[in-house]
A and B are shown apart, each in its own frame.
Chain A
Amino acid sequence: MKVAYWPGCVSRGFTPELHGSMAAVAPLLGIELIELDRAACCGAGVIAEHNQELADTLNARTFALAQQTDGELMMNICSTCQGAQTECQTRLDANADYRAQINRSLATQELSYEAGLTNKNFLWLLVEEVGLDALQAKVRRPLRNLRVGPFYGCYIVRPMDQLAIDDEHPRHRYLHWLIEALGGTVIDYAGVYKCCGFPIITMNREASLKQAARHLGDAIDAEADCLVTPCPLCHLNLDLQQPLAAKLAGRRLGMPVLHLPQLVGLALGLEPRQLSMDKHIVRPSSVIDWSAAVVAASAA
């Protein structure tokens, strides 16, 4: 399937391993990515807190660019993009007068957004479009004996009605389902649905790092081998900042955090290096060891 692909800012900035692993995994799943290289930042909630109309206009611009492609839908790889864009889209779709006013601003760029775009995070796309059965059929190295803790990121699980999470689409369980479908063991720990703390890192550094340290510590106590997240901003606080979080908490952490496409890529047979795991701040040794053991076993 062809999708209008919004990689977000951070996957092309401080988490390049996410962008690279998505590019490596997509062809294995039959997903053709049409990258929206003219689209701008979603605002991550920060621009909306500065000026709501500005955030809505930026995202309407992205949606309009997506609608100019022949992709079946728009796909993102960032929980924060998903939440911030859904919030803006809700306003744009709810009110024709408002949408018309936003489109007047976009007219100078010869762009116009038409209500009703489908925008799904890679996680949602895997479950709802690719399907877990089809995905399972492509698994070459089941994640057997790998204990994986899901970390969703706030923006992809709340508010539930805005994100259309209901009995028919229990999107707050998809990461659990996915880990199981790939053959891994789901580790439930207290931090699964909590905040990584990244949004307040410049305002209240201590509280922000405390949040990261607490969830990482809980995952360690629950004996997870690694965490997996569909959010690169969570990854920044949980991986990039992990040494500082550990220092603040006065506790050794060392919990590897994988991006969602990296976990999928592993199960589809890619090597940790092909998924740029060497770029992580906390080396995912447990995952690399697991992968090496599986490869050795299959060669024997």
Chain B
Amino acid sequence: MPEYALRLRRYDPQSGQGAYWEQFTVELDGHRSVLDAILKQRAERDGTIGIRCSCRSAICGSCGVRINDKPGLACHTHLDRAAQAGREGSQVIVVEPMGNMPVIKDLIVDMDAVHWKKIQRVTPWLINKQPIPEREYVVPKESMLDITQSMACIQCGACVSDCLSLEVDPLFIGPAQLAKAYRFVGDPRDAQHEQRLRELAEDPHGIYDCTHCWACIDACPKGVAPMSQIMRLRRLAGSDHQIEDANNGHRHELAFTNNIARNGLLAEADVLPDSYGGKLHPRAIGVLLASLPVILRALVRRKVTLRSALLHPHRGRFKDLSGLFDQIERRAERRELNLYITGYDSAEPAQVAGNGPAMVATGASPTRGAADEGEGR
């Protein structure tokens, strides 16, 4: 029987002592889980180890931890693979509590204080359209397929643990929470579609607080791709409902897009003021004044010249671009391809499903099957 070394971060706030590392070895088959190893140690040698678990089948989401610096489910991580991924080839499996949440004891974090409290902010239940039909609702199949990815969430908190926005802004709603929000925003039975979007966009720590770092996509053990759901929320709020948020999210996205339509390459000097409503807008003036030291330094160091910053000398090369922008932006409905639903040609050609074009309006797809994880995968 192979032997595996585990290194646990131990901490009991009630003991009055600081956190410390404890290493032990366990004899188990390599295909057994990290959770099995910890439970064996707890049962046979040290009953004080704190870890939360329930189903042991990667469905209840209780045993979220960090293994070798990456979030994951302890019950869904094989010992042999975890040992291979040990820090700098050490073969030692390092297990820590999840991040961004306070530790209750050892590997148990306070999900109530962060995760569940934040989930409540997105009203995580259906608000029925009225009148409620006498029999069941009939909803288009493609609409439900569109939200299957967000429904795959098991609330383990792995994405919350690794969220780089939360790390600096504890008020950010959070990735799992916004994925849950999309689950109801995208549900045709819900009566609060636009209101939900408005609240999520207006919240100073809402959809525009996501820093687009992809960490939640890699963290999720269930392929929910929370960041992709956040980008869907932004498209719905900004492009479809033109919700003008107080965070400059929609304005920035428009300023950036129009900048490229005009110039081909980004004219950075325009993006900042345009994101705040234009160079002469009171909102922009304050930000420009705050940025003045940076702008002056950039001029002094010849990073930019006034001519290059203001005249965009490359603009002439891109005269053919604006027609392309017009053509796509004028479509009656935005088109999106969701690979989570359509899959890949080689694995399962979209036309095999035989339900029409692969590219469909606003993310809803008529094709079948959940094949992969991210929006762009």
Q: Is the interface of A mostly helix, strand, loop or mixed?
A: helix
Chain A residues with Cβ under 8 A from B165's Cβ?
Answer: 195, 200, 207
Chain A min CB distance to B182 (Å): 14
Q: When the two chains form their complex, are residues A10 and B252 in contact, meaning their CB atoms are under 8 A apart?
A: no
Q: Does B121 contact A (CB under 8 A)?
A: no
Q: When the two chains form their complex, are residues A14 and B329 in contact, meaning their CB atoms are under 8 A apart?
A: no
From B328, B350, B358, B376, name the one whose CB has the most chain A CB atoms within 10 angstroms. B376
Q: When the two chains form their complex, are residues B377 and A280 in contact, meaning their CB atoms are under 8 A apart?
A: no
Tell me the complex Cα distance, A158–B1, Å.
36
Chain B residues with Cβ under 8 A from A161's Cβ?
Answer: 373, 377
Tell me the complex Cα distance, A57–B337, Å.
13
Q: Does A68 contact B (CB under 8 A)?
A: no
Chain B min CB distance to A223 (Å): 19
Q: When the two chains form their complex, are residues A50 and B254 in contact, meaning their CB atoms are under 8 A apart?
A: yes
Given contacts A15-B303, A202-B275, A203-B248, A105 and B359 within 8 Å (CB-CB): no
Question: A202 contacts which of B248, B308, B374 (Cβ < 8 Å)?
Answer: B248
Q: When the two chains form their complex, are residues A154 and B304 in contact, meaning their CB atoms are under 8 A apart?
A: no
Q: When the two chains form their complex, are residues B214 and A13 in contact, meaning their CB atoms are under 8 A apart?
A: no
**Interface residues in A143-192 (C-beta closer than 8 Å to B):** 154-155, 158-162
Q: Does B45 contact A (CB under 8 A)?
A: no
Q: When the two chains form their complex, are residues A200 and B208 in contact, meaning their CB atoms are under 8 A apart?
A: yes
Chain B residues with Cβ under 8 A from A205's Cβ?
Answer: 287
Q: When the two chains form their complex, are residues B376 and A91 in contact, meaning their CB atoms are under 8 A apart?
A: yes
Q: Is the interface of B mostly helix, strand, loop or mixed?
A: helix
Q: When the two chains form their complex, are residues B303 and A158 in contact, meaning their CB atoms are under 8 A apart?
A: no
**Interface residues in B266-320 (C-beta closer than 8 Å to A):** 266-268, 271-272, 275-276, 287, 290-291, 293-294, 297-298, 301-304, 308, 314, 317-318, 320
**Interface residues in B18-69 (C-beta closer than 8 Å to A):** none
Q: When the two chains form their complex, are residues B344 and A95 in contact, meaning their CB atoms are under 8 A apart?
A: yes
Chain A min CB distance to B377 (Å): 5
Given contacts A10-B268, A105-B328, A109-B324, A52 and B235 within 8 Å (CB-CB): yes
Q: When the two chains form their complex, are residues B218 and A158 in contact, meaning their CB atoms are under 8 A apart?
A: yes
Question: A200 contacts which of B209, B218, B314 (Cβ < 8 Å)?
Answer: B209
Q: When the two chains form their complex, are residues A241 and B294 in contact, meaning their CB atoms are under 8 A apart?
A: yes
Number of A-B contacts (CB under 8 A): 232
Given contacts A41-B265, A105-B328, A280 and B301 within 8 Å (CB-CB): yes
Tell me the complex Cα distance, A109–B264, Å.
15
Chain A min CB distance to B72 (Å): 13
Beta-carbon nearest neighbor of B359 in chain A: A98
Q: When the two chains form their complex, are residues A101 and B339 in contact, meaning their CB atoms are under 8 A apart?
A: no
Question: B266 contacts which of A41, A45, A96, A200 (Cβ < 8 Å)?
Answer: A41
Question: A97 contacts which of B253, B256, B267, B350 (Cβ < 8 Å)?
Answer: B350
Given contacts A109-B324, A159-B374, A280-B301, A46 and B337 within 8 Å (CB-CB): no
Tell me the complex Cα distance, A194–B211, Å.
11
Q: When the two chains form their complex, are residues B252 and A203 in contact, meaning their CB atoms are under 8 A apart?
A: yes
Q: Does B13 contact A (CB under 8 A)?
A: no
Chain B min CB distance to A274 (Å): 15
Q: Does B120 contact A (CB under 8 A)?
A: no
Chain B residues with Cβ under 8 A from A159's Cβ?
Answer: 214, 217-218, 373-374, 377
Given contacts A12-B314, A13-B265, A158-B215, A96 and B304 within 8 Å (CB-CB): no
Q: Does A48 contact B (CB under 8 A)?
A: yes
Tell me the complex Cα distance, A98–B239, Å.
21
Q: When the two chains form their complex, are residues B358 and A57 in contact, meaning their CB atoms are under 8 A apart?
A: no
Chain B min CB distance to A297 (Å): 29
Tell me the complex Cα distance, A53–B257, Å.
13
Chain B min CB distance to A86 (Å): 8
Q: Does A49 contact B (CB under 8 A)?
A: yes
Given contacts A10-B268, A97-B357, A214-B168, A279 and B301 within 8 Å (CB-CB): yes
Q: When the two chains form their complex, are residues B351 and A97 in contact, meaning their CB atoms are under 8 A apart?
A: yes
Q: When the two chains form their complex, are residues B276 and A50 in contact, meaning their CB atoms are under 8 A apart?
A: no
Q: Does A118 contact B (CB under 8 A)?
A: no
A interface residues (Cβ-Cβ under 8 A, vs B)? 9-10, 12-17, 37-38, 40-41, 43-54, 56-58, 61, 83, 87-88, 90-91, 94-98, 101, 105-106, 108-109, 154-155, 158-162, 194-195, 197, 199-200, 202-208, 210-211, 214, 240-241, 243-244, 278-281
List 24 A–B pairs whose Cβ atoms lie within 8 Å, in order of A's numbering.
Answer: A10-B266, A40-B264, A44-B256, A45-B212, A51-B329, A53-B335, A54-B325, A58-B324, A94-B339, A97-B351, A97-B358, A97-B359, A154-B214, A159-B214, A160-B218, A194-B164, A197-B168, A197-B211, A203-B209, A203-B249, A206-B169, A240-B297, A241-B294, A281-B301
